[in-house]
Every structure is written in structure tokens, then in C-alpha cells.
Amino acid sequence: MIKINLAPTDRRRGLPSFQLGLPTFDLGVLFAIVYVAVGRGVGATWLLRSSIESRLVSAIERDKRELASLKATIGEGMKIKAQLADLQNRLKAIQELTKNQARPSALLSAFADTVPPDLWITTMEEKGATLKVSGTAYSPTAVSDFMTNLKGSGKFKDIDIVDAKQDLTKSPRLITFEVVARFEP
């Protein structure tokens, strides 16, 4: 058999040929490096998460304190609103009283001139425009004079006697009466 060498010949004969070889690869070192890298990654993630957790816990506590102070402020605001509503109601009542203050004084002024000397008024009640007067007198003439004076004043309309009684068992014999009229100032 004949052998033929087809490989190029080395021109520099006598020199050793240069060879590149792969270094030997140790899997234990690779796993150690990966283990350390993963450990550092897990540790860094844990530190990051725990710092985020502590920051969020402190933010929650701060917000709870702020919420408590805001609830106190809102409570004071509601108390002030209640006081404001009470004061507005009082103001309305005072305005209503001052608005209607002239009517009772005009009524009493006009009424005082109509009462005869031998007649006593025991109750006087005004509901709306209707005036209800009760009293006693010594004679029926005094009650009649009282009704005539009310008509003559021009400020009382629709005058009507509702009830008139004389107690015959008592001495002096007093007449109790009730008159209804409408006051127009």
C-alpha cells in the first residue's frame, strides 16, 4: 500500500507546531459561581423588598395619624355646622318676633280703648287674624257696650258673641262671656 500525504508541508521544519486547545472546564467552579450569583440576587431582592415594606408600613402609619387628625377636624366642622344651623334658627325666630312685634302692640292699643269700666277681661287669645276674648261683667249692658265699642273702633270686624252666662247662685250676679272678632290694623 502506498501512502500519500495530502497535508501541506510545514516550511519550517524543525519548529514545533503551535496548537490551540480548549482549557479544561470544571463544572464545580461553574456551579459555585452560579450559586454565589443566585444567593446575592436573592439577598439583594430580599433587602429591596424589606426596605419597600418598611417604607410602606411607615407611610401607612403616617396616613393613619393624618386620618385621625382629619376625623377630629371633620368632627369639629360638623359641630360648627350644627351650631350654625341652631344660630340660623334662632335668628329666624328673632326676625319673626321683631316682624310681628308691631301687631300685638297695635292690637292691645286698639283693644284697651274699647273696654268699659265695669267689665274685666280674663283671657285674650289671638290665632291668626281671629281674636277670642273672655271675661266677666256686672251687667249685660257692659257686654253690649263692649261689643259696640269694638265695632265703633273700626279695627275689629266680624264681631260675634259666642257665649254669655249669668250665675244666679252667686251674689253679685256676674255675667261670663266670650266674644270672637277679627282684628285688622
Residues 145 and 22: their CA atoms lie apart, in Å, by 143
Instruction: Taking the CA atoms of 139, 140, 143 and 148 in sequence, report the sign of the dihedral they define.
Output: negative
Per-residue model confidence (pLDDT) at position 11: 57
pLDDT at site 117: 85
pLDDT at 41: 95
Domain ranges across the chain = 26-99, 105-183
Q: Which residues contact 138 (CB under 8 A, 6 or more apart)?
A: 118, 119, 172, 174, 175
- CA-CA distance, 142 to 166, in Å (whole number)? 13
178 φ/ψ sector (left φ>0, alpha ψ -120 to 50, else beta): beta
Q: Residue 19 has what pLDDT?
A: 66
5: Cα separation from own chain's centroid: 108
Residue 157 CA: distances (Å) to CA of 21, 106, 151, 168: 134, 15, 7, 32
Contact status, residue 133 vs residue 178, Cβ threshold 8 Å: yes
| CA–CA separation, 120 and 143 (whole Å) | 10
Report the distance separating Cα 56 and Cα 107, nearest Å: 75
pTM, to two decimals: 0.46
| Distance (Å, whole) CA 144 – CA 140 | 6
- Phi and psi at residue 34, to the nearest 5°: -65, -40
pLDDT in tens, the chain (185 residues): 788 777 766 555 555 566 666 667 788 888 999 999 999 999 999 999 999 999 999 999 999 999 999 998 888 888 999 999 999 999 998 888 777 677 777 778 888 888 888 899 999 998 877 889 999 998 888 988 999 998 988 888 888 988 888 878 877 888 899 999 988 87
Q: What local confidence, expressed as pLDDT, does residue 21 receive? A: 66
pLDDT at 183: 85
| Class of the domain covering 105-183 | alpha beta
The pLDDT assigned to 10 comes to 59
Cell numbers linked to 67:
386620618
